[in-house]
């Protein structure tokens, strides 16, 4: 670790996190049971099949929570199902997930990680057992031995504060049990994919002390190949393991310690080239220096381009690892609970990709280093005072992040000689770099309190507020030898905000919950590592939401509807400026509004349909920015800004990763074979409207509307101990982009990014004991 302070606190805080106290009410951690609720097909529940949403910190059931929430259960997670963050987009309304440079870019209702700068934070809080996993690149490690996944849509400014303007995703790991149990899964699929997963746990000392150990191993050939080096592209070679100890010290006091580690070393997260934009391909740096792009390669063969492959002198190297320890204690007296979450996390990664998208060594080797260490502590309490209930807490978070972006400028002078007619020594810049390097330290403090009063047995009013304070201090340098730049980038900033919340809930005689909610979200300012741009201001949002959820008495039909309106100011947007330097700025304002409808239909005891549909209108209402296609008569043009005539007025453009419509249908039918077992038939179809990946809304950074289908057939033995599943994902092999950016002027504004996985299929053998 690069920071001096971090080496001093590492051991102490790791030990503290292993023994300290944490966040979940006991009832929120029962094992996964039957399907229930409109939010998911098999969520974790209590013995009475009540889904407890731990991420709300109130211990409420899903049916009693006045919010737009989806809960996915243990049966949804695994090979052929939800394997990582990217799969959540198909299962949860208004969620879009992509990756860039091996960084998770999750969006909820059009709000997410829009900056490509090193050290940028997402707008969706990603948690494990209630503790923040702050680094977006660390959120791609994959899921295993999960009790449930909770997705809260919309700003969560009161209970979570920093970085939750889009929403919250909480991964709840499976807990130890007082009885011996476990499972094992072995999967083999196309691309020579092998996945091994299992867990075992049980009592150490009766009901007092229990353990659980889980692990996962993944190996897969690449979805493509680097046609220059022969190495795979977007393969996977990873493993992870987790250990948990739970001590029930008294009937009221429980301690849980969870420690995990993951490692990935492969050629994943390839940097795919999707074509030129405003610069003809022949004028790009690679071709000018005698190189070929993948388009040239396939043109010579007279074949259509396969963009899953790369044609590059640089491989997409990916090497990352992370470790975390959480201490979780819950004191619960029924009408009063006090909980605490302590977490310590480290994460390191190295990624390499090729910016010049060719087989030439054209100053395109892009090296990312990220090395972080974080510590968090949160205390939460709930109190039931009869007609009044209280929820409150306080948190502390600190992180030290070292980062580096290094691009060696080999052959840059030779390129200038060809492109600009200069007469520089050919190796003038070969020993130089484009380099962002430095450390950012973050400290954050928050405290919140909300109270709910039962005005009548059916009508409840909740009001609350949170105070947020955050400070970031950055030290480092920015070097760009070709422009003669070598400057310190030391800067700091601190911010505070109060984020209130008001909710009115009414429950009808038939059990339908109606609610109206007004909340404010806050995302702190940013100090990007080694960046020349100024400290970026915070962004905030006012959210207004109306909703209802309920179920018919016979349980045949469940429903959830929410309508929302967001008013954003100072939205943080990242891009590459005219000097080929990564920059993040504050967009003036944006407006998002939309509608989400979810239903569950059970026409027969063994048949379930789940359907959701969304409408989202997410647009900039006031935003001026530089445009790479300005003045090009072949490109779409925008009005210039009145007070900044050198910039383009992008007001009215859609926000990135914000499809206007999405629809999904899930069907599940179980065939009872009597004493021979059961067969479960499952299928789903997901439609997503077109999305743009940049604020310019051009076709060169766009995914057209598409649909993807998944299906599985699972046999289970009569005692449900053994199972065999045959499954397929993206079974029609739909080609779709997950994310794109338009690169720097120095590389000709080419369109590059990542792809959604192709068709995959396999067989999974399982045993439960």
- As a whole number, mean pLDDT of residues 526-552 equals 89
- As a whole number, mean pLDDT of residues 606-628 equals 94
Give the chain's mean pLDDT: 89
- As a whole number, mean pLDDT of residues 650-665 equals 95
What structural domains and CATH numbers belong to the chain? 4-768 (2.40.170.20)
The pLDDT value given to residue 354: 95
pLDDT band of 577, cuts 50, 70, 90: low
Cβ neighbours of residue 577 closer than 8 Å, sequence gap 6 or more? 583, 626
Residue 741 has pLDDT above 50, yes or no: yes
pLDDT band of 52, cuts 50, 70, 90: confident
- Helix (H/G/I), strand (E/B), else coil: 15: helix
Alpha carbon dihedral 544, 545, 546, 552, in 10-degree steps, equals -170
CA distance 179 to 206: 8
The pLDDT value given to residue 578: 61
pLDDT band of 178, cuts 50, 70, 90: very high
Task: Choose between 578 and 344: higher pLDDT.
Answer: 344
Identify the H or E element spanning 446: strand 433-456
The pLDDT value given to residue 11: 32
CB-CB neighbours of 704 under 10 Å = 11
Read off the tokens for 675. 């004493």
pLDDT band of 583, cuts 50, 70, 90: confident
The pLDDT value given to residue 201: 97
Residue 7 has pLDDT above 80, yes or no: no
Cβ density class 515-533: b for 16+ within 10 Å, e for less: bebebbbbbbbbbbbbbbb
In angstroms, the first-to-last Cα distance of the chain is: 42
Read off the tokens for 263. 């490692």
How does pLDDT run across 478-526, given as a tens digit for each residue? 999 998 999 999 999 999 999 999 999 999 998 899 999 999 998 888 8
- Helix (H/G/I), strand (E/B), else coil: 717: coil
Residue 655 has pLDDT above 90, yes or no: yes
Residue 43 has pLDDT above 80, yes or no: no
The pLDDT value given to residue 581: 66
Cβ neighbours of residue 633 closer than 8 Å, sequence gap 6 or more? none
Percentage of the chain exceeding pLDDT 70: 92
Beta bridge partners of 699: none
The pLDDT value given to residue 626: 86
Best CA proximity match to 76, nearest among 599, 680, 628: 680
Read out DSSP for 491-528? EEEEEEEEEEEEEEEEE-TTS-EEEEEEEEEEE--B--
How does pLDDT run across 244-258, given as a tens digit for each residue? 999 999 999 999 999
How does pLDDT run across 22-39, given as a tens digit for each residue? 333 222 323 333 333 333
Q: What is the pTM of this model?
A: 0.89
Read off the tokens for 582. 């990564």
Pairing of strands 582-604, 557-576: antiparallel
Cβ neighbours of residue 225 closer than 8 Å, sequence gap 6 or more? 231, 232, 233, 309, 310
Q: How many residues does the chain have?
A: 769
Residue 355 has pLDDT above 50, yes or no: yes
Read off the tokens for 459. 């009508």
The pLDDT value given to residue 15: 34
Read off the tokens for 602. 């059970």
- As a whole number, mean pLDDT of residues 727-735 equals 97
Read off the tokens for 711. 């299906």
- Edge-to-edge strands, sheet with 131-132: 68-73, 146-153, 167-173, 124-128, 131-132
* Phi–psi pair at 6, nearest 5 degrees: -70, -35
Residues 101-104: contacts with CB under 8 Å, at least 24 apart: 101/269, 101/271, 101/351, 101/353, 101/366, 101/368, 102/137, 102/140, 102/268, 102/269, 102/318, 102/320, 102/349, 102/351, 102/368, 103/136, 103/137, 103/140, 104/136, 104/137, 104/139, 104/140
The pLDDT value given to residue 20: 36
- As a whole number, mean pLDDT of residues 362-376 equals 95
Cβ neighbours of residue 43 closer than 8 Å, sequence gap 6 or more? 32, 35, 36, 37, 51, 62, 71, 72, 73, 148
Residue 42 has pLDDT above 50, yes or no: no
CA distance 165 to 2: 30
- As a whole number, mean pLDDT of residues 612-629 equals 92
CA distance 121 to 258: 25
């Amino acid at each position: 670790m690069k920071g001096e302070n971090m080496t001093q606190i590492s051991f102490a805080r790791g030990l503290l996190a292993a023994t300290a106290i944490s966040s979940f009410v006991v009832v929120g951690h029962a094992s996964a049971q039957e399907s229930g609720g409109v939010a998911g097909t098999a969520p974790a529940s209590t013995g009475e099949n009540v889904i407890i949403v731990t991420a709300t910190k109130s211990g409420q059931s899903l049916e009693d929570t006045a919010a737009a929430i989806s809960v996915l259960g243990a049966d949804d997670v695994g090979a052929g199902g939800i394997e990582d963050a990217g799969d959540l987009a198909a299962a949860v309304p208004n969620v879009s997930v992509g990756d860039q440079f091996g960084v998770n870019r999750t969006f909820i209702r059009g709000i997410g990680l829009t900056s490509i700068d090193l050290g940028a934070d997402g707008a969706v809080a990603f948690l494990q057992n209630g503790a923040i996993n702050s680094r977006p690149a660390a959120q791609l490690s994959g899921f295993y031995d999960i009790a449930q996944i909770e997705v809260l849509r919309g700003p969560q400014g009161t209970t979570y504060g920093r970085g939750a303007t889009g929403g919250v995703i909480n991964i709840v790991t499976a807990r130890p049990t007082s009885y011996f149990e476990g499972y094992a899964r072995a999967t083999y699929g196309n691309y020579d994919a092998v996945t091994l997963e299992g867990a075992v746990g049980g009592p150490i000392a009766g009901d007092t002390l229990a353990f659980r150990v889980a692990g996962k191993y993944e190996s897969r050939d690449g979805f493509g190949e680097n046609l220059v080096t022969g190495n795979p592209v977007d393969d996977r070679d990873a493993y992870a393991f987790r250990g948990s100890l739970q001590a029930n010290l008294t009937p009221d006091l429980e301690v849980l310690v969870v420690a995990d580690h993951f490692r990935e070393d492969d050629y994943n997260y390839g940097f795919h080239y999707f074509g030129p934009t405003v610069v003809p391909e022949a004028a790009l740096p690679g071709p000018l220096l005698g190189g070929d792009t993948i388009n040239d390669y396939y043109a010579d063969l007279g074949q259509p381009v396969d963009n899953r492959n790369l044609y590059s002198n640089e491989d997409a190297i990916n090497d990352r690892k992370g470790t975390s320890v959480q201490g979780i204690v819950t004191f619960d007296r029924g009408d009063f609970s006090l909980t605490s979450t302590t977490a310590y996390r480290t994460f390191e990664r190295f990624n390499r990709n090729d910016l010049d998208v060719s087989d030439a060594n054209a100053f395109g080797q892009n090296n990312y280093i990220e090395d972080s260490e974080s510590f968090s502590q949160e205390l939460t309490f709930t109190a039931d005072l009869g007609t009044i209930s209280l929820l409150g807490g306080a948190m502390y978070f600190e992180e030290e992040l070292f980062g580096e972006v290094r691009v060696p400028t080999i052959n840059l002078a030779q390129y200038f000689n060809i492109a600009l007619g200069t007469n520089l020594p050919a190796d003038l810049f070969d020993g130089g770099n484009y380099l962002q390097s430095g450390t950012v330290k973050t400290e954050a403090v928050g405290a919140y309190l909300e109270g709910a009063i039962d005005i009548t047995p059916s009508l409840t009013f909740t009001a609350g507020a949170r105070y947020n304070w955050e400070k970031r201090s950055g030290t480092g340098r920015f070097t760009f030898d070709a422009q003669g730049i070598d400057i310190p980038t030391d800067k700091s900033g601190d911010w505070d905000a109060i984020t209130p919340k008001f909710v009115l809930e009414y429950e009808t005689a038939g059990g339908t919950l109606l609610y109206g909610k007004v909340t404010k979200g806050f995302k702190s300012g940013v100090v990007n590592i080694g960046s020349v741009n100024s400290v970026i201001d915070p962004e905030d949002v006012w959210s207004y939401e109306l909703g209802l959820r309920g179920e018919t008495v016979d349980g045949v039909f469940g429903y959830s509807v929410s309508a929302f309106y967001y008013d954003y100011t100072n939205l943080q947007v990242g891009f590459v400026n005219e000097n080929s330097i990564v920059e993040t700025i504050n967009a003036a304002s944006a407006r998002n509004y939309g509608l989400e409808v979810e239903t569950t239909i059970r026409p027969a005891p063994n048949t379930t349909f789940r359907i959701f549909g969304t409408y989202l209108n997410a647009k900039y209402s006031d935003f001026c920015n530089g445009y790479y296609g300005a003045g090009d008569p072949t490109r779409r043009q925008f009005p210039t800004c009145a007070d900044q005539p050198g910039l383009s007025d992008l007001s009215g453009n859609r926000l990135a990763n914000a499809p206007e419509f999405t629809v999904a249908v899930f069907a599940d039918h179980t065939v009872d074979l009597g004493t021979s077992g059961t067969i479960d038939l499952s299928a789903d179809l997901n439609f997503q409207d077109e999305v743009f990946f940049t604020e310019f809304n051009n076709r060169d950074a766009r995914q057209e509307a598409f649909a993807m289908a998944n299906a599985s057939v699972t046999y289970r033995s009569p005692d449900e101990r053994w199972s065999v599943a045959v499954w397929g994902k993206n079974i029609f092999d739909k080609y779709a982009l997950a994310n794109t950016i338009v690169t720097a002027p120095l590389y000709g504004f080419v369109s590059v990014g990542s792809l959604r996985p192709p068709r995959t299929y396999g067989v999974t053998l399982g045993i439960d004991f």
